[in-house]
Structure 1
Amino acid sequence: MSENKKVAKDLIEAIGGKDNISSVTHCATRLRFIVNDEEKINKDKVEDLDKVKGAFFNSGQYQVIFGTGTVNRVYEEVEKLEVNSVSKEEQKEDTTKKGNRLQRSIRTLGDVFVPIIPVLVATGLFMGLRGLVMQEQVLALFGLTPADISDNFLLFTEILTDTAFVFLPALVAWSTFRVFGGTPIIGVVLGLMLVSPVLPNAWGVAEGADPLVFFGFIPVVGYQGSVLPAFIAGIIGAKLEKQIRKRVPESLDLIVTPFLTLLIMITAALFVIGPIFHVVEDYILVGTVSVLELPFGLAGLLIGFFHQLIVITGVHHIFNLLEIQLLESFGNNPFNAIVTASTAAQGGATLAVAMKTKSKKLKALSFPSAISAFLGITEPAIFGVNLRYVRPFFMGLIGGAVGGFAASIMGLKGTGMAITVIPGTLLYLDGQILQYLLVNVIAIGVAFALTWLFGFSDKQLKEKNKHDGLT
């Protein structure tokens, strides 16, 4: 029997057998189970399995952390054992009514924005590479100056860096229709209508161009780079489409449903939803910038300390909206550097545990978890190591606060979002790379030193094993 097959078999038994599993799916690092009876789960046995780096309940799901790569292989073995595996979309229906209203709302926000993030990550990397290529020192290596760069080349780079944000409403509307049960292609067209070239360009209006004025008082503009108008229009549009479809004869559905949905929604989006939520979006942006501009590095201290606490709750996807707004409005993202510090610090704390413990099992768990954190994914480090022993997690929070403080003081601003620590270096190639590396060293160093000195000893390990009945 292969190792992964044994892990899958033992895991299913520890969860209470196939009959206790309603469905299972997976994400980048975790298996996500919907169970029928939580009391049947032997949680200590689950967490003691080889390759398992932690397990917890969140948003109605029992989530078992394996880490990137491993989770895919274990999931394949779980499928072979004929457990009820489903897609993420199907499992969402099982979890819709679980959790409080805030958890459900944040989960839905994540479902909408997570599929969009990869293209925004790519756009951020393009921005970083353009910043690197256009630096005078880099050009000088090839005997060039900025004046030697052709307009056509700059135009090509604009295609790479601007397209995702110009058509962002189409991406948001598409994903929102998909999540709320509408037809995604109708969402795409609705979003494209919001950035139609016949409308005054949003950035042009921001710089002084005149919007269209309907009925003498309603300003109508394009919504390039905007998020909330497309998001709200997507929610209402998906629900409207389903209501229209229920009332239209099947023979006319193909023609009437998309026609009425688009007609009603673009009217509502341009004349009501857009003007209102564009103002709301501006206020959110102003509030975010005000926090990030707190004096004396306070923003870095606060965000650097609390961010990983928020990750534990699973509601950290709400920050996606804020980061998108920062990038669209300013072309940079100061939030990323602070979050990088909090992420790196958890890795530093886990690395200290790995190097200090004499337990082979804990070493085998901690080293890969630390590497995962340095690649930007902290769940294995948090749930597999740091939270188990409490103090390493708290030392990681302190390291994140100190690193975040340094990031704020230095004024670091990434060119993109959603990647941190080692992969995140690509967002700081525009002359900030040394400061970025220094922030990471500070965060990791502080968390490592505090954990080594005050945060962990094998005595804690023995006490925990004794408490858990493992010794």
Structure 2
Amino acid sequence: MADENRKIAEELIEAVGGLENIDSVAHCATRLRIMVRDKEKIDQNKVEDLDKVKGAFYTAGQFQVIFGTGTVNRIHEQVIALGAPESTKSEQKQETKKQGNKFQRLLRTFGDIFVPIIPVLVATGLFMGLRGLVTQEDILALFGTTPEAIPENFILYTQVLTDTAFAFLPALIAWSAFRVFGGSPVIGIVLGLMLVNPVLPNAYAVGAGDADPLYFLGFIPVIGYQGSVLPAFIAGFLGAKLEKWLRQRVPESLDLILTPFLTLLIMITGALFLIGPIFSIVENVIMAGTSVALELPLGLSGLIVGGLHQLIVITGVHHIFHLFEIQLLAEDGLNPFNALITAGIAAQGGAALAVGLKTASGKLKALAIPSSISAFLGITEPAIFGVNLRYIKPFVMGLIGGAAGGFFAALFNLQGSGMAITVIPGTLLYIYEIPSLILYLITNVIAIGVAFTLTWLFGYSDKMKEEMDG
């Protein structure tokens, strides 16, 4: 096995232009990330033909080769052993931040801030789904009880599980923003917690009309910012910049005392009286626009989002959607966007599965079928870059399948209780009520079925493979 991996590593190094063309090599869970000096020296077709390679593409200054979980670690070891310079993923991130246009760098920054928060929001969504399941009247009836018989203490316990992340969401965002922009994360946490301090009128209570804002100077409304994203993001960005500026000017002997004091004093004043009121309005406008798009009649939103989402994933700018999903969940605990993107993801898996079952090529079959399973677990890169985009038509059929599934989901206003998990794992976001679970399953069946059928009939043949692979 080691000899096989070493041979793959040798051939990979040769295919990317040799050791002299490699600046550094790092890896994540599934991909080998290679910083190259001249991307024109990369023979991508040769890379994609290597054993164990499930796809390869160049983006954001990196040549990324998909090997899959476990395999990538072993290939990385061999590449480094052969003399390629090693770097950490974080060091490569610092380098890639310098590359790309301003819009690409901005979107990468959004990703760096929101991606670390997603795991707790995934957990929260699962808690919401499970609470909905165990409090369903039909489920309780199986055990001879009713929702009214559930102890109040149990309901309070479930609220701790489902409400905490969104009640303190600004603290999570401010922490992450400080971390990304070079400030002290602990100051970011405290700044975010100040935005949701219980002495401030609760944002949800104000929105429901159960509480009134505090007015300073008679016209500046001050409330807590529970569930808000943009005010905490802007406060975190400016706060980190302010802290760095202060550290360069405050005497070292006073830095420990004055820098955190001034940063928090200036930023919470600005956040409550200026940033919060202004960017809450901006946030409301964005969410109103998003809601209008998601509520387009006759399933149009599903056609658009389900059909185009995976096209956007290729560009790498899909992290911007995390902002919308987080805000949708913060608004009322439900996320209609999840069902629409699930359709797009499932459909790419369906297209890859059709290729894998139809082809006579043992290597392509060994690549396509595992890639489809990966897509059904919510990860489409192997299916997209390793199979569907390689032959183009399967990818297009996947887009059509995604549009069909998304259309169905939008037509029935299907909404999940969380975000960031889709297809098979995403089922847990819809168990809060039986009708939603059934609709979710039908959505996936439609998306996979349409993509699979179209790919089988029109999207792939081994003759096409021979022509495209030369």
Q: Partner residue of 1:455? A: 459
Q: CA deviation at 1:80?
A: 4.2
Where structure 1 has 5 or more consecutive residues not aligned to the other structure, the ranges are 467-471
RMSD (Å), alpha carbons: 1.3
Q: CA deviation at 1:51?
A: 1.3
Distance 1:40 1:394 in 2: 29
Q: Partner residue of 1:24? A: 25
Determine if the alignment matches structure 1 residue 403 to structure 2 residue 405. Answer: yes
Distance 1:267 1:160 in 2: 31
DSSP 3-state at the match of 1:460: helix
Determine if the alignment matches structure 1 residue 5 to structure 2 residue 6. Answer: yes
Q: Among 344, 351, 366, which residue is 2:346 paired with?
A: 344
Q: Among 280, 283, 287, which residue is 2:282 paired with?
A: 280
CA deviation profile, 1:12-36 (whole Å, cap 9, x unmatched) = 2322233322223233332222212
Q: Among 375, 378, 384, which residue is 2:380 paired with?
A: 378
C-alpha contact (below 8 Å) 1:342/1:403 kept by paired residues: yes
Q: Partner residue of 1:154? A: 155
Q: Structure 1 counterpart of 2:71, which letter?
A: T
Q: How many pairs align?
A: 466
Distance 2:9 2:340 in 1: 37
Determine if the alignment matches structure 1 residue 66 to structure 2 residue 67. Answer: yes
Q: Structure 1 counterpart of 2:443, which letter?
A: V
Where structure 2 has 5 or more consecutive residues not aligned to the other structure, the ranges are none
Q: Structure 2 counterpart of 1:329, which letter?
A: E
Distance 1:350 1:384 in 2: 9
Q: Partner residue of 2:134? A: 133
Which piece of structure 1 moves more, 92-101 or 170-179?
Answer: 92-101
Q: 1:207 to 1:365 in 2, by over 3 A?
A: same
Distance 2:120 2:184 in 1: 21
Q: Partner residue of 2:145? A: 144
Distance 1:81 1:166 in 2: 50
Q: CA deviation at 1:40?
A: 2.5
Q: Structure 1 counterpart of 2:180, which letter?
A: V
CA deviation profile, 1:78-120 (whole Å, cap 9, x unmatched) = 4444533333332222112211111111111001000000000
Q: Partner residue of 2:303? A: 301
Q: Partner residue of 2:371? A: 369
Q: Structure 2 counterpart of 1:22, which letter?
A: D
DSSP 3-state at the match of 1:34: strand
CA deviation profile, 1:200-257 (whole Å, cap 9, x unmatched) = 1111111121111111111111111111001011111111111111112222211111
Distance 1:462 1:361 in 2: 13
CA deviation profile, 1:60-91 (whole Å, cap 9, x unmatched) = 22111123343334334444445333333322
Q: Partner residue of 1:469? A: none
Q: Partner residue of 1:212? A: 214
Q: Structure 2 counterpart of 1:181, which letter?
A: G
Q: CA deviation at 1:413?
A: 0.5
Q: Partner residue of 2:120? A: 119
Q: Partner residue of 2:423? A: 421
CA deviation profile, 1:136-173 (whole Å, cap 9, x unmatched) = 11111221110110110000000000000011111101
Alignment of 1:13-412 (within 5 A): 13-81=14-82, 83-208=84-209, 209-412=211-414
Distance 1:159 1:82 in 2: 51
Distance 1:267 1:394 in 2: 51
Q: CA deviation at 1:284?
A: 1.0
C-alpha contact (below 8 Å) 1:67/1:372 kept by paired residues: no
C-alpha contact (below 8 Å) 1:391/1:451 kept by paired residues: yes
Distance 1:122 1:392 in 2: 33
Distance 2:427 2:252 in 1: 54
Q: Structure 2 counterpart of 1:229, which letter?
A: P
Q: 1:261 to 1:79 in 2, by over 3 A?
A: farther
Distance 1:82 1:250 in 2: 43
DSSP 3-state at the match of 1:332: coil
Determine if the alignment matches structure 1 residue 434 to structure 2 residue 438. Answer: yes
Q: Structure 2 counterpart of 1:277, which letter?
A: F
Q: Structure 1 counterpart of 2:371, which letter?
A: S
Q: Give me the TM-score of the superposition, normalised by structure 2.
A: 0.97
| Moved >6 Å (runs of 4+) | none
DSSP 3-state at the match of 2:262: helix
Q: CA deviation at 1:50?
A: 1.0
| Amino-acid identity (%) | 70
Distance 2:34 2:331 in 1: 39
Distance 1:212 1:264 in 2: 19
Q: Give me the TM-score of the superposition, normalised by structure 1.
A: 0.96
Distance 2:311 2:19 in 1: 33
